[in-house]
Amino acid sequence: MNFESTITLVPEIKTGYPLALKTVYNQNEIARILYQGAALSFQQVATTTDITKNTLSLLSPSLRLETSSDGDAALKKGAYIVDSQYRPLIAFDANGVVRYLDSNVRFTA
């Protein structure tokens, strides 16, 4: 039996929830991993070897990771992923919970 053809990893990104990765088998969810931490760090990296523990790392040449300022009441100690025009696409708080998601952005596996 070939299990590989029927198992899929599906990212789940919803406002108010931590990032999740679902494992789906024959269209049924069989496992879920939540990416939630405490006091996460945020960094933009050039390669996967630069990724560290307890850090939300962005590996993208076309998007930027901007940490929130101390005066940002909506997102203290968090970060935004922004496009080339500095429009926020998604925001994370210090625990990795999604706090903003542009309604025009779609994430696919």
The answer to whether residues 44 and 64 touch, using CB atoms and an 8 Å cutoff, is yes
Residue with tokens 């929130």: 68
The answer to whether residues 79 and 69 touch, using CB atoms and an 8 Å cutoff, is no
pLDDT at 64: 93
Note if the pTM is more than 0.85. no
Q: What is the dihedral of CA 93, 74, 11, 54, to 10 degrees?
A: -10
Amino acid code (one letter) for 8: T
Tens digit of each residue's pLDDT, the chain (109 residues): 455 557 888 888 888 888 888 888 888 888 888 877 777 888 999 988 888 887 888 888 889 999 988 888 878 888 999 998 989 999 998 888 888 888 887 766 5
Count of other CB atoms within 10 angstroms of residue 81: 21
pLDDT at 2: 52
pLDDT at 1: 47
